[in-house]
Amino acid sequence: MQSARTKIASVLRLVPPAEVRVKGWVRTARDSKQVAFLEVNDGSCFASLQVVCSPELANFDELRGLSTGSAVSVVGELVPSPAQGQPVELRARSVEIVGRAESSFPLQKKRHSFEFLREIAHLRVRTNTFGAVFRVRSALAQAVHSFFQARGFFYVHTPIITASDAEGAGEMFRVTTLDVGAPPRTPTGAVDWREDFFSKPSYLTVSGQLGGETFAMGLSEIYTFGPTFRAENSNTPRHAAEFWMIEPEMAWYDLDDDADLAEAFVKALLRAALEGCGEDLAFFNDRVDRGLIARLEAVVSADFGRIDYAEAVDRLAKSGKSFEFPVFFGANLQAEHERYLTETLIGRPVFVVNYPKEIKAFYMRRNDDGRTVAAMDLLVPKIGELIGGSQREERLDVLERTIRESGLDPAGYSWYLDTRRFGTVPHAGFGLGFERLLMYVTGMENIRDVIPFPRTPRNCGF
Ligand code: 4AD
Ligand code: MG
């Protein structure tokens, strides 16, 4: 039965006349006494297929007035369509109503706000916008693998549950099987984590980097692509508590090599979207973000800028623009600074490199100036930070010191430090936030609208 079904994406490539069976959901139904039109969509592509039902059909009366959202299986003849805007339509010989949608189906034919659609995240994939978002998401996930596999990188599955804080920022979700209302206690009254599932405190990972580094010390070039978790209370359109990150890690790379790879990677992903998701991008360009396609094409052919953090701060300070947060050497660049830098001062994607050591993670390589680290952030228009990366501190003594200086205990990182004990080499890597990339590629302005079921502070529905 299944084999007889043709997805609408394929149906639309057929040359009529052709006999086909399609299965999908009714987007809209219109009818008169003489005919009923069902617009059927199966998600395989942006377009829906118009199904024309005539009174000869045994269940014509049921089909007239069929509710939006109902599932149907249609057999019919694909013919050239007399109607405007569609080359073909399906003249139905039989229409089976497989699953009727109750009249309370919330996606009736009108424009719904993205805020409203978030409340029905389990149904929103049946809209034009979200069908397109999630097809692009799927295509780009594949493009990530193609990019790295073509270069001989190996895909590594680093753990989701971990005992180490890869960023040292203390933004981890705890994982426990203890009864939080009545946990076991030590004689001094502290929670006795030895009684917990892993016999020690454990968390959801914030990054696969540390495990990735150990694998790069054997496989040379690797990447991870998996979910990461941040318990940071950031309620912004760019932060999620659960997001997907791609983290390549390369032995023998310095910061320049790292930025070169990141630039090639971003361009390859944009190219993949432009080439493989044309219909969906055309929709975003029309309805969500005018100028999107031209912007993406420009980025693919532009050279990304590179600027030292110190110079970036200087130019921001001298720009005459008034910011909410002050800029000075040592300040964390805020979204407003990042966007002004990439959108106005540089006018294209830009790597900011060599940040003050105080505002970056313990594993970044100390520069010889004593005050900066070999870090890079890639900033892009509309989004701000898309990538964060660095050359890693490969010198054992320096790394032990920076771990301590960050208030962390080197004992907890002994396995990681082993990479520096046994055949250490210069290496570098970066992390690209997959949802940030999707925002960039689709023009969607809220991270909640590019991930199936967003997790953000006070929101864990579905
Ligand atoms: O800059 P971050 O924190 O870097 C790391 O995690 C490193 N371990 C990466 C590495 O060098 N291997 O995060 C990397 C990227 C950011 O640039 C951003 O795109 C994304 O991950 N990101 C988030 N995306 C959505 N929601 C959040 N809360 C995010 N935090 C970071
Ligand atoms: Mg960062």
Please, which pLDDT band fits residue 356 given cuts at 50, 70 and 90? very high
Ion ligand 2: residues, Cβ under 5 Å: 388
Q: Which residues of 104-114 are buried (b: 16+ CB within 10 A; e: fewer)?
A: ebebeeeeeeb
Amino acid, res. 12: L
The yes-or-no verdict on residue 1 having pLDDT over 80 is no
Element (H, E) at 300: helix 292-301
**Residue with token string 């907890």:** 412
Q: Which ligand is nearest to the CA of 237?
A: 1
Vertex 400 angle, CA 394 and 406, to 5°: 110
What pLDDT score was predicted for residue 22?
98
Is-contact 231 223, C-beta < 8 A?
Answer: no
The residues that bridge with 204 in the sheet, in sequence order, are 161
Pocket of ligand 1 (CB under 6 A): 166-167, 207, 209, 230, 239-240, 243, 245, 247, 385-390, 429-431, 433, 435-436, 447
User: How many angstroms does the Cα of residue 349 sit away from the middle of ligand 2?
Assistant: 16
Substitution site in 158, 230, 236, 245 for ligand 1 pocket (most atoms within 8 Å of beta carbon): 245
The yes-or-no verdict on residue 39 having pLDDT over 80 is yes
Mean pLDDT (whole number) for 198-216: 98
What pLDDT score was predicted for residue 342?
97
What pLDDT score was predicted for residue 4?
85
pLDDT in tens, 10-30: 999 999 999 999 999 999 999
User: How many angstroms does the Cα of residue 233 sit away from the middle of ligand 1?
Assistant: 15
CB atoms within 10 A of CB 122: 11
- Which is the closest atom of ligand 1 to the Cα of 386? 19
The yes-or-no verdict on residue 310 having pLDDT over 80 is yes
Q: Which ligand is nearest to the CA of 384?
A: 1
226 DSSP assignment = E
What pLDDT score was predicted for residue 3?
52
pLDDT in tens, 90-138: 999 999 999 999 999 999 878 899 999 999 999 999 999 999 999 999 9
State the chain's mean pLDDT as an integer: 96
User: How many angstroms does the Cα of residue 322 sit away from the middle of ligand 1?
Assistant: 27
pLDDT in tens, 61-100: 999 989 999 999 999 999 999 988 899 999 999 999 999 9
Number of helices and strands in the chain (H, E): 13, 16
Mean pLDDT (whole number) for 235-253: 97
Which residue has a Cα nearest atom 4 of ligand 1? Answer: 388
Is-contact 34 94, C-beta < 8 A?
Answer: no
Residues 6 or more apart whose Cβ sits within 8 Å of residue 135:
43, 45, 46, 277, 280
What pLDDT score was predicted for residue 33?
87
Q: Which ligand is nearest to the CA of 244?
A: 1
Mean pLDDT (whole number) for 184-193: 97
- Which is the closest atom of ligand 1 to the Cα of 377? 17
**What global pTM score does this model have?**
0.97
Which range among 80-89, 268-277, 289-298 shows the weakest confidence by mean pLDDT?
A: 80-89
- Which is the closest atom of ligand 1 to the Cα of 212? 12
Substitution site in 436, 448, 456 for ligand 1 pocket (most atoms within 8 Å of beta carbon): 436
The yes-or-no verdict on residue 214 having pLDDT over 90 is yes
Which residue has a Cα nearest atom 30 of ligand 1? Answer: 239
Burial of residue 222, with CB atoms counted within 10 A of its CB: 0-12 exposed, 13-18 middle, 19 or more buried: buried
Q: Which ligand is nearest to the CA of 232?
A: 1
What pLDDT score was predicted for residue 247?
98
| Cα–Cα distance list, 325 to 41, 103, 316, 330, 347 (Å) | 48, 50, 11, 13, 21
- Which is the closest atom of ligand 1 to the Cα of 232? 28
Which residue has a Cα nearest atom 9 of ligand 1? Answer: 431
